[in-house]
Structure 1
Amino acid sequence: MPGRPTTSFPTRLGRSARLLSHLFLGLYVLAFRYPRLSHAARAAINQRWSAQLIRILGMKVRVLGKAPGLLAHNTLLVANHVSWLDIFALNSVTVSHFVAKRELRRWPVIGWMIKNAGTVFIDRTSRRDASRVNEQLAHSLSQGSCMAVFPEGTTTDGTDLLPFKASLFESARMAGSHVQPVALRYLDEHGRLTTLPAYIDKISLVRSLGRILSMPSGTVELVFGQTLQAHAEEECSRFQLAEAARAEVASGLGLTPPAPAQPRKPTRTPDDLPA
């Protein structure tokens, strides 16, 4: 687990300067280039910008399992949620539009950036808003987009996995989507699990960034589980789909979730079936 910050002040200052420059580059691209680009070109820019952000912060991404590729057609990505860095780590491998709580839209600079990058905002206190977001997600998925949700509904320190909220899994059933579970783990320079990047306990964004900048180096592990297939006409409910996805994420984290009340898993995609 994390100890005291060990990077020098010049190192943190240099990273901060490069990060500020990178943010201004992102703002310029979003404001002047992004609207005129094709979907594939936007995805390529998003992937490169996200990967560079991770590197500037002194971290790297390690992929375990089979990632669905840069452009995953009609795919709902579901992951545990540890940090605001999760979005960029995932986008450095598979580019998605994310569902985020509406409070993020008010964040300075970053709120504007993620809004213009296609983020869908949800009021987690309103069941009616979940229905609206489901329809929006299902439409985007059926048009071939890759969407991403954090079904825990909040962040954790990465050492545990909360129950998955099933509401947004309905969008995958409506669109007949692939559901791709992903487990995120943050490791320190020695390869040990660290909670320093965790965005928890009402910590401010500035303080969270300072903690990440203090790390000499680190790794974000993305463990891609087996892909699940959602079908609206099948007996498998959104609750069973959520439990199956949670089991895959828990396995990637090395955890054992409690057995679901209805354990039948949804159909695997053809690529995941044994020969």
Structure 2
Amino acid sequence: MKRKQWQDRGSGEQAEQHYLVQPRALAGGDVRHVSEFLRASGWRDTSKRGGPLRMERPDRTVRIAYDPYILPGGWTIHGRADGANGEWSAHLGQQTPVEIVAGMTDTLTRPRSAHAPNVWAPLQERHWHTRFEGQDYTATSPDGTASMQYWHSPDGATMWWTGAQDQQGNGWTASFTPNTPMHLVQAFATELASPDPVMRPRGRVPASAQIRTWSVSVKPSQLSAWQQARITAARAATWARSGTQSARPRTSARPYTTAGGARTRR
């Protein structure tokens, strides 16, 4: 493509080549898509310099880590036991596309819906093939690259398992302990089943015969605006929740204050 085709004559800004990638289940991606949203949502970054990514929810009930320095490497999401749910964890392979990871991690930043979750619903809506295999229930994508399974072991244990693989053997797997909150597994499944392509910069498209790409030219300002819109949405939602919580009437007695005035918070 000629240089003048890449040049924006109004601003002098030069467009860069990116690719729309399909299926998204094989697309990989930049972990900052996940981590920057969590930071904007008020999560604490507890990572050490030069070490793996580590994030913690403000109430300390969930921790997320991404470690590419160990084998097999990847994501670990750990939820602390609370009054209603036991301890749970999810392990996502290093090549799990970041949009699919974010389906689960973004949901951790929002209030839980009152609707009963159904993990299989988003897969069936996208015409995934479902079947029983013994005691296991499996759904497979129409192109055969991705699948999701509720798995039973011979000793009676259960687990959610999912993954994607191309014909060359490249791919990833993920597993969720059986007490992982179902609305999180459903959010993961929704992004996994989405037919929408994802964007990757030149040089970051995985080599796979099963991947289809479309070349697009994107200005840096456009890319920055798209990324900033996601961050802005996370901050706005966080501020809105904080405002709602602070506006709630008190249901317990106020802390003791002296006659001289209100107690000062430090």
Q: TM-score range by the shorter chain?
A: under 0.3
* TM-score (norm: length of structure 1): 0.25
Name the structure with the higher strand share.
Answer: 2
Which protein is bigger by CA-based radius of gyration? Answer: 2
TM-score, length of structure 2 as denominator length: 0.25
Greater helix fraction, Structure 1 or Structure 2: 1
